[in-house]
């Protein structure tokens, strides 16, 4: 007899587990973090963040600033938000210490968002088995109610058994891996972004002596 998945499919059990997990996530998570957590799913298939192209861009900014002056960087199109904020601050004449603090704040904010995003999926992974147990209890109640009709017990028994199965599978094969992968992506990006700070601070340090000249010229 060929193996078939039909006995393992039960819409009611699936709806209890998925719907309960989703409802718990919505109720316990701020809307902003919930939106970021869903949007972060796009990162799962994205290539690994690499700082090398951005380092080349910063080096090019250094050459431009040396040749034409740091104010010309204000017209540059910069896609990366951290580099854009740092370059804008450098153009405004902020000190290297200010640039370092700016980058630290942005790194801290990014880390907090990454933690909140991973916690959303990690908490959902913890909730799914509990929702599976809820489905099991619902199925058992349905069995007890229909004890006098043996032919009607099968559907409730399927809900009771499959809800636990769905909770375990969804938690361990979907939600927990998503949380773990998002943590790893955030950690790898944080390590790579640390490489951007020294050249940006060096650019600010190199332009720092020119601030009085720039101010005098503008006056």
**pLDDT (tens digit per residue) in 38-61:** 999 999 988 999 999 999 999 999
* Beta-carbon-side half-sphere exposure of residue 150 (alpha carbons within 13 Å): 0
Q: Is residue 121 part of a domain?
A: yes
**pLDDT (tens digit per residue) in 128-172:** 999 999 999 999 998 888 887 777 788 888 889 999 999 999 999
Q: Is residue 93 part of a domain?
A: yes
Mapping DSSP to helix (H, G, I), strand (E, B) and coil, where does residue 79 land?
A: coil
Q: What's the total number of domains in the chain?
A: 1
* Beta-carbon-side half-sphere exposure of residue 111 (alpha carbons within 13 Å): 12
**What is the domain range of residue 78?**
10-26+49-213
Task: Classify burial at 42, counting beta carbons within 10 Å of its beta carbon; exposed 0-12, middle 13-18, buried 19 or more.
Answer: exposed
CA-to-CA distance for 193 and 52, rounded, in angstroms?
A: 10
Residue 186 has pLDDT above 60, yes or no: yes
Q: Is residue 44 part of a domain?
A: no
Q: Is residue 162 part of a domain?
A: yes
Q: Is residue 5 part of a domain?
A: no
Q: Is residue 141 part of a domain?
A: yes
């Amino acid at each position: 007899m060929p193996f078939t998945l039909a006995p393992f499919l039960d819409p009611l059990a699936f709806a209890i587990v998925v719907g309960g997990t989703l409802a718990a996530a919505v109720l316990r998570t701020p809307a902003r973090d919930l939106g970021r957590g869903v949007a972060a799913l796009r990162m799962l298939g994205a290539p690994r963040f690499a700082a090398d192209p951005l380092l080349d861009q910063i080096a090019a900014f250094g050459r431009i600033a040396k040749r034409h002056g740091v104010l010309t960087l204000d017209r540059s199109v910069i896609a990366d938000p951290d580099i854009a904020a740092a370059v804008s601050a450098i153009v405004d004449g902020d000190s290297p210490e200010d640039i370092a603090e700016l980058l630290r704040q942005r790194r801290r904010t990014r880390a907090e968002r990454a933690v909140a995003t991973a916690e959303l999926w990690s908490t959902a992974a913890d909730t799914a088995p509990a929702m599976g147990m809820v489905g099991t209890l619902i199925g058992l109640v349905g069995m007890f109610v229909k004890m006098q009709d043996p032919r009607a017990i099968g559907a409730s028994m399927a809900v009771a058994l499959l809800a636990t199965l769905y909770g375990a599978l969804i938690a361990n094969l979907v939600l927990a891996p998503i949380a773990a992968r998002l943590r790893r992506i955030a950690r790898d990006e944080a390590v790579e972004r640390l490489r951007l700070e020294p050249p940006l601070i060096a650019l600010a340090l190199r332009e720092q002596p020119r601030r009085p000249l720039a101010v005098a010229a503008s006056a």
